[in-house]
Amino acid sequence: MELEDIARRITPSEGELKSVERVAGRLISEISNRGYKVIWVGSSARNTFVKGERDIDVFVVFPPDSSAQEMQRELFSIARDVLGGYEKKYAQHPYAHALREGFDVDLVPCHPYGKGKLTPVDRTPEHHRYVSSRLNDETREEIRLLKQFLKGCGLYGAESSVHGFSGYLCELLILHYGSFEKTLGEGARWRHGTTIGIKDATRMEGPLVLIDPVDPERNVAAALSRNSFALFIQSARRYLESPSERFFFPEEKEKTNSGEEFARRGTEILYVHFPKPDLVDEILYPQVEKLEDGLRRALEMDGFRIFRSLIEIDEEVEVLIEHTCLKSEVEKHLGPYLWDFENSERFWDIHKNKNPYIENGRWYVDLYKSKDAPTLIEEKFDKIAMGKNLKRIGEEMRVELFDPGSNEELLTKLLHPPHPWDP
């Protein structure tokens, strides 16, 4: 396998470059003609995007004394006139999203950098200036290789559904280490808490800390989860050990009979599902993750042992948690003294087939209360931690045991999450 061949496959064609420049140029011209300062940012502006990506990010700069309400009102007016319609989305504050000439366009309001109180969004144009001034054709190729590698490993994207590497983080890693292979070589030896950048910056927490060169108080890798961090280390190690195209372009794995494997495991799966609420993913995912954690904690506190769990969000929100089977708890039930003849006889009549026994002159019997996971969760539902929006739709939630024969694909995702190093 030659990296040059991979690079050729993922480099945008001249036609793609001209197309994105044409669409972005028209947007900038139309908005600028209305008297606004406009900055085209992101990977499409820096030509660090991977072939086939169709994203254009345009920032509209408002005066530093503009309130959030004023910025939003004007931005959506621009979006309505220029884009012909839009979908409202949310990051640190609302922005407009629309499809234009086959491109996903994000129109984002911001303040001038360095003026007044800044939001994370306000830094983005400065990020663009910082990275653009340090790029050349060679570093662009290395950035694309890293992005495609991360896509193949399921680690590209800082959004809540991935908890991985943002495009800006990829660019900074290549600028810091110099190449794709050097980044993997260093990444294979990362330890939790690895810090890249200004050494005397404010101490930050996280598996990886990369100090933002634009803002030393910010960790560019803050969205990276422990699992994603560990998965990158393993992917880097296995790739360096045996380079293969499958790390960049994963092959569909041969399907296994997950139903048979599940039967051998002798476990059960708690299945909580409900219609997807009308929430943007960046709000929904953290709330579903909180629900997943709350379910796990409730089961563990009552003696169940947890194995794997999975979140799937499409038209439905689905949470699967594999656990040990039906749990029995023993309660030592106190009876009357034997010389309390009437009550003693009544106790005997009720419990004589449950092996009652005598201690200190009183009857006792061990009572077994069996509960499956759905029953336990339904009893504790009001106390389970979850996002406030999910609490409101509690009546729509279905809590049951998962039928492994009902959805082989979902069961396989739970038992066999895809990894590029798999044989």
Phi-psi region of 177 (alpha: psi -120 to 50; beta: other; left: phi over 0): alpha
pLDDT at 353 exceeding the cut of 80: yes
Report the pLDDT averaged over residues 262-284.
92
CA separation for the pair 299, 44 (Å, rounded)? 46
pTM of the predicted structure, to 2 decimals: 0.87
pLDDT of residue 202: 62
Sign of CA dihedral 81, 83, 86, 92: negative
CA distances from 228 to 186, 283, 296 (A): 16, 20, 20
CA-wise closest residue to 183 among 174, 175, 192: 174
pLDDT at 348 exceeding the cut of 80: yes
Residues of the chain with pLDDT > 70: what percent? 96
Q: Where are the beta strands (DSSP E) in 29-181?
A: 37-41, 55-61, 87-90, 94-100, 103-110
Number of Cβ within a 10 Å radius of residue 387:
19
pLDDT of residue 419: 83
What are the tens digits of pLDDT across the range 358-385? 999 999 999 877 789 999 999 989 899 8
Length of the chain: 423
Residue 189 CB-density burial (10 A; 0-12 exposed, 13-18 middle, 19+ buried)? exposed
pLDDT of residue 367: 84
H/E stretch holding 5 reads helix 3-10
Strand 208-210 to 306-313 pairing: unpaired
Hunting for tokens 């009552």 — which residue is that? 302
Beta-bridge partners for 40: 58
List domains and CATH numbers for the chain: 3-132 (3.30.460.10), 137-247 (1.10.1410.30), 258-326+373-415 (3.30.70.590), 327-371 (3.30.70.1550)
Residue 234: band (very low, low, confident or very high) from pLDDT cuts 50, 70, 90: very high
Q: What type of residue sits at position 377? A: I
